Structure 1
Amino acid sequence: MDRNDLSPAELRVWQAFPKGAFVDFRPDGDQEGAQNAVQNAAQGADWGPERTVRAEVLRSLLLNGPLEDGEIPSLDVAGARITGTLDLSHGSVDHAIKLTACYFENTPVVYASRLRQLHLSRSVLPGLAAATVQVEGMLKLSDCRFHGYVRLGGARIEGALFLNRAEVVPPDSEWPAIRLGHAAIGDNLYAPGLRVHGEVLLTGASVAGSVTFDDARLRHPGRAALDAQTVTVGNDFHMRRVRTEGWVGLRGARITGRLDLSYAHLSNPDGTALRAGSSTIGELWLRKGPLIEGTLNLRRAQIDVLFLEPEVVPDQVYFSGLTYTTLTPHEPAERRLPMLDRDQDGYLPHNYEQLSAAYLRVGDDHAARAVQLAKLRRHRRTLPRYGRVWGLLQEVTVGYGFRPMFAAAWLLSLFAIGSAAFAVHHPSPLKPEEAPDFDPAFFTLDLLLPVISFGQEGAFDPTGWQQALAYTLVISGWLLATTVFAGITRTVSRQ
């Protein structure tokens, strides 16, 4: 490009490039804060020629700019109005690109290009077309304001990706507002305070470090606010104090560290608020936040530490196949059991076994027994009528084997009633000359105990109301003996 065709502003940039010198067109220079810089950049359409640089000039510099021996060239400009389209698609740029607090007239295009470093922080842009871009260093989009789509699908970023406090407001919701599907990030994805009106797509992405969405606001009502299915995160995934309108999808995700949703407000009232089925997560924290507005889906998830507060759990959940090693904070079983009753898949024994095992691991045998008892009660409601009657009998007599003292109390009560009743009026002997002396206590025991015999039952013949009482004792004895045996068998099998 002929230097005689350059404007004074463009000549400043051209002369600074070989030495990597910084060119600042802002009246206030670096003294303005990030928010002020963005607000000022939003007025970039009104900037005059003294702050205007053509995109073709920048492209010429980056691809074939002048060099000086002993100097490291770079494009480092702030506060410029960039007209035209900066198109570096399929190009290879060996110099750092820093265009901060700038106003872009058109969307920069770096599709399938190879860059050393790209820094667009605090700029205002119509969008960014950077699918399959390769960045050897960092990609910084901090405090940027996008009025269109940010396309980074399939990008390869060896350093970190910064989207902290960025705002993305596309004209419609036809496409994801931020597309990072199948991108590979060698360091962290750092996006606290991100504001997005539309979908953030992270499907199939890989992040070697941590993902941070703390204090982010993701708004896409009724649709995907964050779709991160099959994402792989080498460290933690932070979403503290995040607010979402729309569903958050983490199905099949692999998060080595912690998925932290502390103080998060998840809202999708007419559907699923959080989908994390079939995921593998080191720690999942759902704590200190309001009630999830929508369904919580953790089907077939594998979690080492599940930090789940009952106050956060919504009315509809899917816990089928959920496995976890540790459940915290420690809560009474009465606080945890209602969560299992809300499972939309119905009665699932596995859910109760998982909860009972979690209590056993921390030595709370009482809570574990309460969970097992609740499991049998829930199962009873799924049985036909005769099964429900039999189950109810086992509960009131021996507490399904978890409360064996119930049977002892019933037996003692019936023994006392029978002994008193038969002591008042002795039944007549069947063979007076052969009958032993009548003993009301052992006669009652003969009726109650179906196997043991003391020789009293076969020698005497109660009549009238005593006969009805005898039949009641015999039937009760058989039922109690059967339920006691079933309870003992269940207790031994648990041991």
Structure 2
Amino acid sequence: MELRTGMSEADEPAAAGQWGPERSVRTAVVKALLLGANDQRSGAVAALRLAGARITGRLDLSGAEICHTFSLEGCRLEQAMSLHGATTRTIRITNSWVPGIGAELVRIEDDLDLRRSVLEGGSLILINARMAGNLHLADARISGPTVAVRASGLVMEGGFFDERLITQGGLRLPGAQLPRGLFLQGARLENRGGVALAAGHVATSTVDCSHGFTAQGVVRLRRARICGSRVATSHRGLPHARQRVVRRSPAGPGRCRPRQASGFRRLETGKRTVAAGPARPGERRPLRRRSRLHRSGDLATRRIHAGQC
């Protein structure tokens, strides 16, 4: 259902207070349609698509089994959305305004797409969620009371794509399984005085924090397992010597060995192994001693402060 007027400024979800009643849709109607109140004829692909709607009331789909694709574009939800324990297909909420999404224990058989959306006043909660596809947060803005994204124990078959994501509050991913990678190019994570990125015990193939990634707060990757292609960093505001990166790559069946990130030279500073800027052509700097973290194969990145370690 298309309810937009075609005028970009008037159709912005931030201006929903000026929308007329003809653009309002009750959550009871949305829920009934998602749960099959108007099933399509046999053989058709069912989906619920709304564009430019103001959704009134609380959309509570806890425990629901949703067999349809759910798509909102340019919409505004008046209250937080709940998907606790639900089983669903693709969920696409793009360029919309939502006061929080609670999706603990959700099972999503495809993608969760929140690109260009604003989550304000409430967190995105994906604790112990299961996802067969990708999570898209590119160009989204999320501001929670203390933590913006809670995704401990998240298990995915796809990737975590957060390009240019802006958060007010921490991004927490402890114990998450992200086999296709964690992509934070150009993201800005703000949690001054707290933890900006908590990704301890994460298992993934790639961590990409390049293209001006900024964290105002502590970045923790303690005991993360990066068994695959690469670690890329470009942490704005930090000198090269403060970018500590050691990657893990396969070293035989069931084993990983620590490897330095491509294009960086390793230095020893005290008991920690760090990557300090691009290697000079032909340069080989032997390590004078092996740190405890290097011997154990853990990811050596412990914490990065914006401006000091």
TM range (shorter): 0.7 to 0.9
Task: Check the 8 A contact 1:303/1:325 in 2, yes or no.
Answer: yes
Per the normalisation by structure 2, the TM-score is 0.74
Question: How far apart are 1:190 and its partner, in Å?
Answer: 1.0
1:240 to 160, 165, 185: 185
1:186 equivalent to 2:186? Answer no
Q: Which residue of the other structure, out of 254, 257, 260, is the alignment partner of 2:208?
A: 260
Q: Is the 8 A contact 1:275 1:296 kept in 2?
A: no
Structure with higher helix content: 1
The structure with more radius of gyration: 1
Pick aligned residue for 2:86 from 99, 123, 133:
133
- Quote the offset at 1:277 in angstroms: 0.7
- Could you say what secondary structure the match of 2:219 adopts? strand
Distance 1:214-1:50 versus aligned 2 partners, 3 A rule: closer
After superposition, the C-alpha distances for 1:54-78 in whole angstroms (9 at most, x for unaligned) are: 44444455556456766848xxxxx
Structure 1 Cα separation of the partners of residues 224 and 289 of structure 2 = 30
* Aligned twin of 2:152: 203
| Amino acid corresponding to residue 56 of structure 2 in structure 1 | E
* Matched AA of 1:103: R
Structure 1 residue matching 2:171: 3-state secondary structure: strand
Alignment gaps of 5+ in structure 1: 1-22, 74-94, 171-175, 306-321, 342-347, 376-495
> Does the alignment pair 1:26 with 2:4?
yes
- Pick from 68, 74, 87: which aligns with 1:122? 74
Deviation at 1:118, TM superposition (A): 1.3
Correspondence for 1:289: 236
**TM-superposed deviation, 1:97:** 1.9
Specify whether residues 325 and 67 from structure 1 end up closer, same or farther in structure 2 by C-alpha distance, changes over 3 A only. closer
Q: Quote the residue 1:214 is aligned against.
A: 163
**Alignment coverage as a number of residue pairs:** 268
Q: How does 1:84-483 map to 2 (within 5 A)?
A: 95-115=46-66, 116-125=68-77, 126-135=79-88, 137-146=89-98, 148-170=99-121, 177-198=123-144, 199-220=148-169, 225-246=170-191, 247-256=196-205, 258-262=206-210, 263-268=212-217, 273-281=218-226, 282=228, 283-287=230-234, 289-291=236-238, 303-304=248-249, 324-331=258-265, 336-337=267-268, 340-341=269-270, 348=271, 351=272, 367-368=285-286, 371-372=287-288
Q: What does residue 390 of structure 1 align with?
A: none
SS in 2 for 1:120: strand
**C-alpha deviation, 1:51, in angstroms:** 3.6
What CA distance in whole angstroms lies between the structure 1 residues aligned with 2:75 and 2:139? 16
CA distance in 1, matches of 2:162, 2:19: 34
What SS class does the counterpart of residue 118 from structure 1 fall into? strand
For residues 398-446 of structure 1, what are the alpha-carbon distances to aligned partners after superposition, in whole Å with 9 as ceiling and x for unaligned?
xxxxxxxxxxxxxxxxxxxxxxxxxxxxxxxxxxxxxxxxxxxxxxxxx
User: For the aligned residues, what is the CA RMSD?
Assistant: 3.4
1:158: Cα distance to partner?
0.8
Taking structure 1 as reference, are residues 49 and 206 closer, same or farther at Cα in structure 2, changes over 3 Å only?
A: same
- Superposed CA offset, 1:59-105 (max 9, x none): 455556456766848xxxxxxxxxxxxxxxxxxxxx42222221122
3-state DSSP class of the match of 1:141? strand
- Deviation digits for residues 160-186 of structure 1, max 9, x if unmatched? 11011111111xxxxx61101111111
The residue matched to 1:197 in structure 2 has which SS?
A: strand
Matches of 2:163 and 2:43 in 1, distance apart? 40
Q: Secondary structure at the match of 2:288?
A: helix
Q: 1:328 to 1:289 in 2, by over 3 A?
A: farther
Q: Which amino acid counterpart does residue 113 of structure 1 have in structure 2?
A: A
Residues 294-313 of structure 1 show CA distances to partners (whole Å, capped at 9, x for unaligned) of x9888xx86239xxxxxxxx
Choose between structure 1 and 2: higher strand proportion.
2
Instruction: Note closer, same or farther for the CA distance 1:56–1:297 as it changes in structure 2 (3 Å cut).
Output: same
